[in-house]
Amino acid sequence: MMQVFRRLALEGGARIMEIYNADDFDVKLKSDSSPVTEADEAADAIISAGLLAAFPGIALVTEEQAATHAERADTFIIVDPLDGTKEFINRRGDFTVNIAYVENGVPLRGVVYAPAKGRLFYTDAAGQSVEETGGFDHSLAGPVTPIHVSRPDNAGLIVVASKSHRDQATDDYINKYKVKDSASAGSSLKFCLVATGEADLYPRVGRTMEWDTAAGHAVLAGAGGQVVRFDDHTALRYGKDGFANPFFIAHAPGVNLQRG
């Protein structure tokens, strides 16, 4: 499964970069007024076709086909072909391709590929998260390094927050902690920065959907991290009605979580 996920993420990412590097590209608004580009749709077509061919017996949920996902399933593959569309439109580079496998509400496997950043993260066959380096050959995996969350120092945490969606509520929550350093990043890269130990804490006080978070959640979990609901600190689950997430906190174990 992870070989297929990795290959399709790279193929989708390659098409995204072709469009990203063009002089111009089409941008439309969806029914919820969020933007969608031709890159979202092109990557979705590549990834969806590949997943349906490889795993015809597993339900498939993708952001760009969300209107067709009426039935819930205990086991499914969930895709955001281009997370961070605003970053893409503004040519900031912090966008990702995301594919995850969910079983009984838990994202067990995932791949997050940031093509403009040249970073590729995924869970291996045993569920351990790794970062691959090298040329990203589509058919042959390159060298990988196991990744693991930090051992946080609650006297001086490193916090990462959204680049496009940071607001006063987020800052108010972050101010409950003793922060040594903070950073902004787009898309699911924030999960990966916690997974590699480059950050300790990522709070999201805002709207997200399951396809935005499942792959990053899987990568973080495979690196020893956790994603919990903002309200009661229970594990964030998947397969919810409408695929909408509550507010959440992604963190390295050892962070003394504060209530909102």
The predicted structure's pLDDT at residue 29? 64
Together in a domain, 6 and 31 = yes
Other CB atoms within 10 Å distance of the CB of residue 33: 6
The predicted structure's pLDDT at residue 65? 80
pLDDT band, residue 81 (cuts 50/70/90): very high
Domain end, chosen from 93, 111, 146, is at 146
The predicted structure's pLDDT at residue 238? 96
Together in a domain, 173 and 136 = no
Share of the chain above pLDDT 70, in %: 94
pLDDT band, residue 64 (cuts 50/70/90): confident
Token pair 């066959």 is found at 125
Together in a domain, 137 and 162 = no
Together in a domain, 66 and 142 = yes
Report how many domains make up the chain. 2
Q: How far apart are CA 149 and CA 30, in angstroms?
A: 36
- Contact predicate 95/84, CB 8 Å: yes
Q: Does pLDDT of 87 surpass 90? A: no
pLDDT band, residue 68 (cuts 50/70/90): low
Together in a domain, 117 and 210 = no
The predicted structure's pLDDT at residue 141? 94
Together in a domain, 82 and 201 = no
The predicted structure's pLDDT at residue 33? 56
- Report the DSSP pairing between strands 75-83 and 59-62: parallel
Q: Does pLDDT of 69 surpass 70? A: no
pLDDT band, residue 165 (cuts 50/70/90): low
Token pair 């040249």 is found at 118
- Contact predicate 188/96, CB 8 Å: yes
Domain end, chosen from 113, 146, 179, is at 146
Q: Which helix (H) or strand (E) holds 4?
A: helix 2-20
Containing structural domain, residue 239 = 157-251
Q: What is the DSSP string of 86-131?
A: HHHHTT----EEEEEEEETTEEEEEEEEETTTTEEEEE-TTS-EEE
Residue 258 lies in a domain: no
Q: What is the DSSP string of 138-186?
A: SSS---EEE-------TTSEEEEEESSS--HHHHHHHTTS-EEEEEEE-
Amino acid at 54: A
Comparing 256 with 183, the larger pLDDT belongs to 256
Together in a domain, 114 and 180 = no
pLDDT one-digit tens code per residue, 176-202:
999 999 988 888 999 999 999 999 999
Together in a domain, 182 and 205 = yes
CA 241 → CA 70, 71, 150, 210, distances in Å? 9, 9, 33, 10
The predicted structure's pLDDT at residue 24? 77
pLDDT band, residue 42 (cuts 50/70/90): very high
Q: How much is the average pLDDT of 225-247?
A: 96
Q: Does pLDDT of 70 surpass 60? A: no
The predicted structure's pLDDT at residue 52? 95
The predicted structure's pLDDT at residue 243? 92
CATH number for the domain spanning 242: value is: 3.40.190.80
pLDDT band, residue 92 (cuts 50/70/90): confident
CATH number for the domain spanning 136: value is: 3.30.540.10
Comparing 74 with 66, the larger pLDDT belongs to 74
The predicted structure's pLDDT at residue 71? 64
Q: Does pLDDT of 213 surpass 90? A: yes
The predicted structure's pLDDT at residue 74? 87
